[in-house]
Structure 1
């Protein structure tokens, strides 16, 4: 049987929500607050960058790519004056596991999917993927639910690093890519403006750059070539992400879909993760447990 880049996208829609509890679950928000981290964004930037250590703000901005430098600087390095990366790493894992258990995920539910995701993540390519590499250097957890969360975190950062590489190679800047994502109707404009801190003027400037390349028309909508370009970015990301699962044979990949999809449905059903996220997650396929290898 053969695999297509669509397989990678369908897997992403399943493992990203498991990881995303790290930021949205009340257990995580409370854990970060107990460390002295103020508000959602200080917790987010500290938790996601903690594997890198207390690096310069510019490094985090470069790796995260689509955030405004001032947004990152509002949280870092101030977070490391309140707590340490080691403490944040412990807190984010403990809270994520507690949230997954509240969502109904048991060790028995998690064990098979965790083993398969860990097998993929342990052999996935490190080259050019700094955030994935930093996370993979961390110790593997012992408990199945913790292993599940850790492996999903590794694979979403592996894909995220690949997506940044695709954007850079195609000349799409970190701020322009958010505008393109919104115009393509993958995430609401008002949501991305709030979550990535745009004002109307910066949005206009980004749109003008995309228009100059023929990606947007005079009304700010995607041109035909713009639609093709956006699909090229998504397809390229999927293609770069698919080899992460080469360590799994077809039977294992089928088993991963069957065991991970119900977990993702439970996570989504708990309601912690908002319907609109910057990742543009798709939920209309989660009733399908099959891998659909051709």
Structure 2
């Protein structure tokens, strides 16, 4: 029998780049600007939060979990005065699909992509919704009829399902979102500068988090202790276990088939270079490219 948590991690690694073009590729960024949103971050928060409706920071902060309050408050709810959530939804879908079509070329119309879209969407539809607000909000959206939009939609569903579970695990372990960034950076070697740019996590806050982790026995001399590494392992393992519930009813053969179908698509997305090699998503893009 397929190891479901391990399969869930591998499928996240393959699906996340498909979803992530919405944050980095020029087509969705231009579409969000054309919809009326001002600047990258207003477009980001509007696009990702739009399935929830015209919400503000009080809803987005706990669900996204890892942003600075002032960062979110600069974009929401102000974004909805420029364009309503339904415009953000259209922009992010149409722009993301345009990016994938450019990147994939003829493969965008391949029967294998249609099959991958169907398998991924079926898995998402079988996933539990309890306690997964972002996933459930996205699941309530209309299902695209065409294969390429449906693949992007399915990738979005499964990554938000995993993300909701990840937030639950962090909360259970007493790790706030900002601390989670530092733990991940110390584990993977992602530079602090990446988080300063992408999450407004500057040197003073970084140092304060390190001090707190040291007090908890999780960091010593700026490095993770055995206890810190054990905590990070528990978080990742439990996240995989919760993500695996999306694939509990999927036959082993279909999990293997979806994995094989996604590999060339994901490699093409990574090779296009739109997604930065180092980002808070924490993916090993080089490993995916290889």
The normalised TM-score by structure 2 is: 0.96
For residues 204 and 286 of structure 2, the distance between their equivalents in structure 1, rounded to whole angstroms, comes to 35
Q: Deviations over 1:108-164 (max 9, x none)?
A: 242010000011000101011100000000010010000000000000000000000
Distance 1:96 1:186 in 2: 29
> RMSD across aligned C-alpha pairs, in angstroms?
1.3
Shift in CA distance, 43/272, structure 1 to aligned 2, threshold 3 Å: same
Deviations 1:70-105 (A, max 9, x none): 000111111101001001101111111111100124
Distance 2:153 2:46 in 1: 17
Distance 1:65-1:287 versus aligned 2 partners, 3 A rule: closer
1:64 corresponds to which residue?
Answer: 64
After TM superposition, the structure 1 = structure 2 runs for residues 180-191 of structure 1, keeping only pairs within 5 Å, are 180-185=183-188, 187-191=190-194
Is contact 1:54–1:77 with CA below 8 Å preserved after alignment? yes
Does the 8 Å contact 2:277/2:286 carry over to 1?
no
Structure richer in helix, relative to its length: 2
Q: Within 2, Cα distance between the matches of 1:186 and 1:164?
A: 22
Equivalent residue for 2:109? 107
User: In structure 2, what is the Cα distance between the partners aligned to 1:258 and 1:265?
Assistant: 12
In the alignment, which residue of structure 2 is the partner of 1:292? none
- Which one of the candidate residues 169, 172, 175 is aligned to 1:172? 175
Aligned equivalents of 2:263, 2:248: Cα separation in 1: 19
Decide whether the 8 Å contact of 1:46 with 1:76 is kept in 2: yes
Instruction: Give the corresponding residue for 1:291.
Output: none
Question: In the alignment, which of 128, 140, 156 is matched to residue 125 of structure 1?
Answer: 128
Structure 1 residue 77 corresponds to structure 2 residue 83: no
Task: State whether residues 271 and 289 of structure 2, in contact with CA within 8 Å, keep that contact through their aligned partners in structure 1.
Answer: no
Q: Does 1:223 align with 2:235?
A: no
Gaps of at least 5 residues in structure 1 are 289-294
Structure 2: 5+ residue stretches without partners: none
Could you tell me how far 1:186 is from its partner in structure 2? 5.0
TM-superposed CA distance for 1:281, in Å, is 0.6
CA distance in 2, matches of 1:277, 1:149: 20
1:156 aligned partner: 159
| Shift in CA distance, 186/143, structure 1 to aligned 2, threshold 3 Å | farther
* Alignment TM-score, normalising by the size of structure 1: 0.94
Q: What is the distance in 1 between the residues matched to 2:115 and 2:197?
A: 38
Distance in 2, Cα, partners of 1:287 & 1:268: 6
1:248 is matched with 250
Deviation at 1:249? 0.4
In 1: Cα distance, 2:152 partner to 2:212 partner: 38
Kept in 2, the 8 Å contact 1:7–1:242? The answer is: yes
Alignment partners' CA distance in 1, 2:58 and 2:137: 17
